[in-house]
Amino acid sequence: MTAQPQIELTNIDKHYGSFHALRDINLTIENGQFVALVGPSGCGKSTLLRSLAGLESISGGTMKIAGDVMNGVPPRKRDVAMVFQSYALYPHMSVLDNLTYSLRLKRRPKSEAEAAANEVAATTGLQKLLRRLPRELSGGQRQRVAMGRAIIRHPKAFLFDEPLSNLDAALRVHMRKEIRALHDRLRATSVYVTHDQIEAMTMADHVVVMREGVIEQQGAPLELYDRPANMFVAGFIGSPAMNFVDGTVDGSGTGARLALPDEPSIQIGKRLEPGRKITVGLRPEFLQLASGDEAALHLSVTTVESTGSTTYISSLGEPEIVVVVNGRTDVAAGDKIGLAIAPENVHAFDPETGKAI
């Protein structure tokens, strides 16, 4: 790995008329890193990716790829490859011609192009499909052609724009692993846009959470899960989403009274000024069924859903609380349950700013 970052974005701004699509984006991507841009739709993640590709222009800031400033450089001169959500395969060309398109444009000899295509086809499992047209391929195969078309170029960076969203759930999980395995083999710098936080968490070395054109937090996947910087990231990362309950720090400063029926009190794992209003975040998977003195809070159950391996217990109310239990449970709707949570697993946020305390 070289010391120089492969992609360096400083103070990137993007306006569409009066709409501020990207606000002061700063992002450094090391050579060989797999970075996921994740956020709800309209958060600017695709705009950022397309700006990297040169398909959108930026209004301000500096964009460097492999040390060269790319502002205003047309896409064809950036040496980056993109895998589109629609795959964007050339429908009038065979798989072979799709793969070798970039090489043919560079007027490489036919034999060289075909050798490269065969190598890529072997990597992506397309050997037997080289003569087919895109319309004769399944979704997963098209996906592989789109990847192959990017790999054959050995570009400075791979850009993925929600490449799995057109596949069915089972294939999506499979391709997720395949893309990651491919990345581990090729070690090419990759930027991956997705709205699916599970894809981001499982595939990336570095996750960037965006909202409304702003980077809310970036870091290693588990760091975002363990130490979300604000309520948005806390709620976005993790499934099912984190439970948020309003509360007030009690007299001791290490506990909080929650705005739930019976005003239960829990330990928050840190010392705050007594009387301060906070929002407490409780991940469903860290809430444990408990009885007697161990139970810090009591709730009445509205629904119980089991997938066999996992059971989701919900208590509809204001707010709704969801609890995830491994395996099965004999809790039924209408029951009253006791819950406990370890203090180190309790998150506290400022209700005004949403920032973690």
Partner 1 sequence: MNRVISSFRDGKGFDIALVGAALLFLGIFAGLPLVYNVVMSFQAVDMFSLGTFARPFVGFDNYIAVFSEPIFWPVMRNTVVFVVASIGGQFVIGFGLALFFTLKFPGSTYLRGLFLVSWVMPGLVVGAIWNWILAGDFGVLNFALTGLGIIEDNIFWRSDTAFSLWAVIIANIWLGTSFNMILLSVGLASIPRDLYEAAALDGANGWQRFWTITLPMMRATIGAVISLGLIFTLQQFDLFAAITSGGPANSSNVAQYWAWDFSFRQYDFAKGATISVLMIALVMVASVIYVRSTRHEVRG
Specify the residue, 142 or 283, whose C-beta has the smaller distance to partner 1.
142
In terms of Cα–Cα distance, which of 329, 228, 253 is closest to 288?
329
Dist CA 118 CA 114 (whole Å) = 6
Q: CA–CA separation, 212 vs 181, rounded Å?
A: 32
From residue 165, give the alpha-carbon distance in Å to each of 173, 199, 310. Answer: 11, 10, 25
Q: With binding defined as CB under 8 A, does residue 88 bind partner 1? A: yes
On the question of a cis peptide bond just before residue 351, with omega within 30 degrees of 0, the verdict is: no
Answer for which of 15, 32, 55, 329 binds partner 1 (CB under 8 A) is: 55
Give min distance, CB of 102 to partner 1, in A.
Answer: 4
Output 52 or 234, the one with its CB closest to partner 1: 52
Q: Is 105 in the site for partner 1 (CB under 8 A)?
A: yes
Minimum distance from residue 9 beta carbon to partner 1 (Å): 18
Q: Determine the distance from the C-alpha atom of residue 204 to the mean position of all C-alpha atoms in its chain, rounded to a whole number.
A: 8
Q: Which of 20, 32, 40, 53 binds partner 1 (CB under 8 A)?
A: 53
Measured in whole angstroms, the distance separating CA 58 from the mean position of its chain's CA atoms is 23
Instruction: Identify which of residues 85 and 311 has a Cβ nearer to partner 1 in the complex.
Output: 85
Q: Does residue 308 belong to the site contacting partner 1 (CB under 8 A)?
A: no
Burial 94-113 (b: 16+ CB within 10 A, else e): bbbbbbbbbbeeeeeeeeeb
Which residue in the block uniquely carries the two structure tokens 């009190």? 265
Whole-angstrom Cα distance, residue 330 to residue 304? 10
- Interaction between residue 247 and partner 1 (CB under 8 A): no
1 sits near partner 1 (criterion: CB under 8 A): no
Tokens of 171: 């294939």
Select the residue interacting with partner 1 from 24, 31, 61, 84 (CB under 8 A): 84
Does residue 144 belong to the site contacting partner 1 (CB under 8 A)? no
Q: Is 336 exposed, middle or buried (0-12, 13-18, 19+ CB in 10 A)?
A: exposed
Q: Smaller CB distance to partner 1: residue 80 or 280?
A: 80
Q: Identify which of residues 34 and 158 has a Cβ nearer to partner 1 in the complex.
A: 158
Q: Which is nearer to partner 1, 66 or 313 (CB)?
A: 66
Regarding 82 and contact with partner 1 (CB under 8 A), the answer is: yes
Q: Does 149 bind partner 1 (CB under 8 A)?
A: yes
Asked if 16 touches partner 1 (CB under 8 A), the answer is no
Residue 143 in the binding site for partner 1 (CB under 8 A)? no
Task: Report d(CA 161, CA 159) in Å as an integer.
Answer: 7
| Distance in Å, CB of 19 to partner 1, minimum | 19
Should residue 92 be labelled a site residue for partner 1 when binding is judged by CB under 8 A? Answer: yes
The residue (of 152 and 325) whose beta carbon lies closer to partner 1 is: 152
Q: Is 107 in the site for partner 1 (CB under 8 A)?
A: no
Buried b (16+ CB within 10 A) or exposed e, 175-184: bbebbbebbe
Alpha-carbon distances, residue 293 vs 38, 339, 340 (angstroms): 41, 10, 10
Stretch that binds partner 1, among 65-73, 100-108, 258-266, 268-276 (CB under 8 A): 100-108
3-state helix, strand, coil split of the chain in percent (to 5) is 30, 30, 40
User: Which residues, in sequence order, are CB contacts of 27 under 8 Å at separation 6+?
Assistant: 7, 8, 9, 12, 35, 208, 215, 218
The answer to the question of residue 73 lying near partner 1 (CB under 8 A) is no
Residue 149 or 211 with smaller CB distance to partner 1: 149
Write out the residues near partner 1 by the rule CB under 8 A. 53-55, 74-76, 78, 80-82, 84, 86, 88-92, 101-102, 105-106, 133-135, 149, 153
